[in-house]
């Protein structure tokens, strides 16, 4: 963002106006998302960022995230640091604005507590930092093209020899149930899933459907409708099909739970929510089960018919909020009641008395 603003500031007024046309697809997307989904930002923003966790605890966890990267992938943070140093030694609008973006991203990582997936939040800063280093090296030492090739080649070489480099796809990969030791909740998630979801694994004939979670969910296809309380809904939801209704404890797919505070002690990035009183009672003709456990669900956990979701929350304020969310997510798309609920939801008036 700082680089974009600096670039816009140096353009003529007419060129700046033309940027609005370039931004039109983004504007259209946000308008569509607000109407269709009910909010301009995805539900995961609330689930992962609005957790109620104290700022000091998030900053501490964010520090662990950066420290884990420094220990297992020193190339990334060293390159980012070199880019910021170049911006100080050889200041310019381009380098300073890009370095400001890098610093803001690092502050953002600290602010949100980092992530459970090692390196994910540092990928884009690493690319920008590589550009800065190559650009400045070219200005100081040689042609920019030669500098770009030299710097990129050096970084690629170092990355390949790093023990946990993502390029080392030929190294032994663990089975999905062989949990790796994490560093304060930060883990090399790619190695955890690569056997089933990696590109080279797919070329070798492996498929995500071989993952135990996917295989377990696939057994439920064709069974009577089922409601499951789940903590991993991606593979389970996809391969379970429409006959399985997942209640997502992580709140990634649940707009009500995403608006509740996280359960204390939750893993960073996987913020569990306590199910409010009466929430599961809304599926009154079903019994609940925690997924994944049994390979085949016993009959007593199936539904007599597809559950009719009702609002049986005992907290009055939360019940009003749930009514509003259900109107946004279940009513006809362009109905007046739904469009009014979309406005109220985005204005934060979901708890208003009716």
Give the CA distances from residue 74 to residues 103, 118, 129, 230, 237, in Å, rounded to whole numbers and listed in that order. Answer: 17, 12, 14, 36, 36
Bridge-based pairing of strands 244-248 and 226-230 is: parallel
> Of all helices (H) and strands (E), which one includes residue 213?
helix 212-218
pLDDT band (50, 70, 90) for residue 197:
confident
Whether 47 maps to a domain, the answer reads no
- 276 & 291 share domain: yes
Which residue in the block uniquely carries the two structure tokens 């990969």?
173
The helix/strand/coil state of 267 is: strand
Token readout for 336 is 């007046």
- 154 & 224 share domain: no
The helix/strand/coil state of 117 is: strand
Tens digit of pLDDT for each residue in 303-353?
A: 545 555 688 899 999 999 999 999 999 999 999 999 999 999 999 865 444
**C-alpha–C-alpha distance, residues 151 and 284, integer Å:** 62
Torsion of CA 219, 291, 120, 44, to 10 degrees: 110
- DSSP code per residue over 293-319: --SS--GGGS-SSS-------SSHHHH
Token readout for 8 is 């816009």
- 280 & 307 share domain: yes
Q: Which residue, among 166, 145, 60, 51, has the nearest Cα to 111 in the 3D structure?
A: 60
Which domain-ending residue is among 182, 206, 230? Answer: 206
Name the range with the highest mean pLDDT among 25-29, 75-79, 133-137, 170-174. Answer: 25-29
Whether 45 maps to a domain, the answer reads no
Length of the chain: 354
- 177 & 229 share domain: no
Whether 39 maps to a domain, the answer reads no
- 143 & 194 share domain: yes
- 200 & 223 share domain: no
Query: Do residues 315 and 256 make contact, with C-beta atoms less than 8 angstroms apart?
Result: no
- 114 & 225 share domain: no
- Which residue would you say has higher pLDDT here, 58 or 226? 58
Q: What percent of the chain has pLDDT over 90?
A: 44
- 157 & 230 share domain: no
Give the CA distances from residue 27 to residues 3, 32, 283, 338, in Å, rounded to whole numbers and listed in that order. Answer: 20, 9, 38, 22
pLDDT band (50, 70, 90) for residue 98:
very high
- 180 & 238 share domain: no
Q: Which residue, among 337, 324, 343, 185, has the nearest Cα to 259 in the 3D structure?
A: 324
Query: Do residues 272 and 263 make contact, with C-beta atoms less than 8 angstroms apart?
Result: yes
pLDDT band (50, 70, 90) for residue 59:
very high
pLDDT band (50, 70, 90) for residue 81:
very high
- 221 & 200 share domain: no
**Is residue 235's pLDDT more than 60?**
yes
The burial class, CB within 10 Å (0-12 / 13-18 / 19+), for 152 is middle
> Of all helices (H) and strands (E), which one includes residue 189?
helix 189-197
Tens digit of pLDDT for each residue in 268-317?
A: 998 999 999 988 877 655 544 433 433 333 333 445 455 556 888 999 99
pLDDT at 287: 46
Whether 29 maps to a domain, the answer reads no
Cα angle value 245/292/275 (rounded, 5°): 55
Q: What percent of the chain has pLDDT over 70?
A: 82
Whether 88 maps to a domain, the answer reads yes
pLDDT band (50, 70, 90) for residue 40:
very high
> Which range among 7-21, 143-157, 288-302 shows the weakest confidence by mean pLDDT?
288-302
Mean pLDDT computed over 146-153: 74
Whether 232 maps to a domain, the answer reads yes
Edge-to-edge strand order for the sheet containing 244-248? 244-248, 226-230, 290-291
Domain hosting residue 279, numbered range: 212-314
pLDDT at 136: 78
Q: Which residue, among 37, 40, 43, has the nearest Cα to 248 in the 3D structure?
A: 43
Number of domains present in the structure of the chain: 2
Farthest-apart Cα atoms in the chain, separation: 74
Whether 344 maps to a domain, the answer reads no
Tens digit of pLDDT for each residue in 236-261?
A: 999 988 878 888 999 999 999 999 99
């Amino acid at each position: 963002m700082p680089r974009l603003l600096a670039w816009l500031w140096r353009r003529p007024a007419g060129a700046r106006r033309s940027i609005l046309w370039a931004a039109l697809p983004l504007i259209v997307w946000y308008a569509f998302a607000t109407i269709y989904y009910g909010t301009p930002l995805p539900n995961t923003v609330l689930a992962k960022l609005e957790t109620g966790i104290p700022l000091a605890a998030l900053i501490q966890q964010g520090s662990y995230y950066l420290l884990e990267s420094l220990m297992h992938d020193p190339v990334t943070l060293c390159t980012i640091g070199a880019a910021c140093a170049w911006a100080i030694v050889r200041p310019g609008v381009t380098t300073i604005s890009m370095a400001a973006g890098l610093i803001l991203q690092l502050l953002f990582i600290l602010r949100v507590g980092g992530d459970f997936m090692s390196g994910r939040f540092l990928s884009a800063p690493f690319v920008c930092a590589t550009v800065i280093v190559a650009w400045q090296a070219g200005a100081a030492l040689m042609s920019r093209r030669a500098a770009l090739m030299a710097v990129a080649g050096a970084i690629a070489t170092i990355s390949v020899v790093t023990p946990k480099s993502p390029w080392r796809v030929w190294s032994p990969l663990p089975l999905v149930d062989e949990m790796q030791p994490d560093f304060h909740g930060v883990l090399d998630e790619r190695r955890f899933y690569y056997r089933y979801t990696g590109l080279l694994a797919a070329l070798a004939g492996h498929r995500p459907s071989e993952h135990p979670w996917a295989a377990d969910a696939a057994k439920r296809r064709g069974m009577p409708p089922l409601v499951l309380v789940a903590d991993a809904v991606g593979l389970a939801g996809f391969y379970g099909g429409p006959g399985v209704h997942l209640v997502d404890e992580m709140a990634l797919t649940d707009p009500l739970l995403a608006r509740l505070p996280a359960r204390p002690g939750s893993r960073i990035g996987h913020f569990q929510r306590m199910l409010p009183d009466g929430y599961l009672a809304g599926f009154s003709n079903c019994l609940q089960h925690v997924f994944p456990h049994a390979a085949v669900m016993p009959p007593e956990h199936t539904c007599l018919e597809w559950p009719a979701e009702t609002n049986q929350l005992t907290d009055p304020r939360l019940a009003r909020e749930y009514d509003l969310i259900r109107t946004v997510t279940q009513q006809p798309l362009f109905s007046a009641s739904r469009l009014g609920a979309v406005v109220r939801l985005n204005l934060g008036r979901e708890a208003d008395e009716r």
